[in-house]
Amino acid sequence: MYPFLRLPWQMWRHRGDPALGPLGEHVSRHLCWPWDLDFWNELNNGRTLTLYDLGRVPMAHRMGLTAPLARRGWGMTVAGASVRYRRRVRVFDRIGMRSHGVGWDARFFYVEQAMWVRGECTSHALIRLAVAGRDGIVPPAQVLGAIGADPASPPLPGWVTAWIAAETARPWPPMADR
């Protein structure tokens, strides 16, 4: 179940934070609750992705995206993700999360996120986001124009372009050759 109470809390908590540019970093704090756990008493991998949502949505709001998206009937959707899990997160651990834009290409935005507990990185994610409208994916340049930001992306880091290339080579639909 999506944490509907936690998202409004995060939005309220960061309501007075300064505005961010498209590459700005949003820092948030979270708590691992008992209902976030899997059978091994650690943060469930699916819930990890949900908590990353709770970092990205306030970040997008601080960038000024929520009002223009709502006016145009656009929505943000995850179009791909790569996550490294490195350390266990246990019940009642306090999680520090850092989220920031890495850049964009003709179709997608790329966001880097990491969770930290007691000074150690527990997971790291690269999220590919699309803004979708009635007619499909909205080009990032158009989205950035809606908030008055420069549509030119900085060069994407090599590890991001390598991931994009790997995703491009990945067959779709999956297992079609079986």
Angle between helix 45-62 and 6-13 (nearest 10): 40
* 148: Cβ contacts below 8 Å, ≥ 6 apart: 64
The verdict on residue 6 lying in a domain is no
Q: What pLDDT does residue 172 have?
A: 87
Asked whether the predicted pLDDT for residue 4 surpasses 90, the reply is no
- pLDDT tens digits, one per residue of 125-150: 999 999 999 999 999 999 999 999 99
Q: What pLDDT does residue 1 have?
A: 62
The verdict on residue 11 lying in a domain is no
The residues that bridge with 103 in the sheet, in sequence order, are 110
Distance between start and end Cα atoms, the chain: 34
Asked whether the predicted pLDDT for residue 23 surpasses 80, the reply is yes
- pLDDT tens digits, one per residue of 32-74: 999 999 999 999 999 999 999 999 999 999 999 999 999 999 9
- pLDDT tens digits, one per residue of 145-177: 999 999 999 999 999 999 999 999 999 888 876
Taking residues 95-121, report their average pLDDT.
98
Please tell me the total count of domains within the chain.
Answer: 1
The verdict on residue 117 lying in a domain is yes
φ, ψ for residue 97, nearest 5 deg: -125, 135
The CA distance from 52 to 48, in Å, is 6
The verdict on residue 113 lying in a domain is yes
Which domain does 122 fall in, by range?
A: 23-146+154-169
Q: What pLDDT does residue 175 have?
A: 84
Asked whether the predicted pLDDT for residue 80 surpasses 90, the reply is yes
The verdict on residue 78 lying in a domain is yes
The CATH number given to whatever domain includes residue 53 is 3.10.129.10
Q: What pLDDT does residue 37 have?
A: 97
The verdict on residue 15 lying in a domain is no
The verdict on residue 8 lying in a domain is no
Please provide the average confidence, as pLDDT, over all residues in the chain: 96
Asked whether the predicted pLDDT for residue 124 surpasses 90, the reply is yes
The verdict on residue 14 lying in a domain is no
Q: Is the peptide bond before 173 cis (omega within 30 degrees of 0)?
A: yes
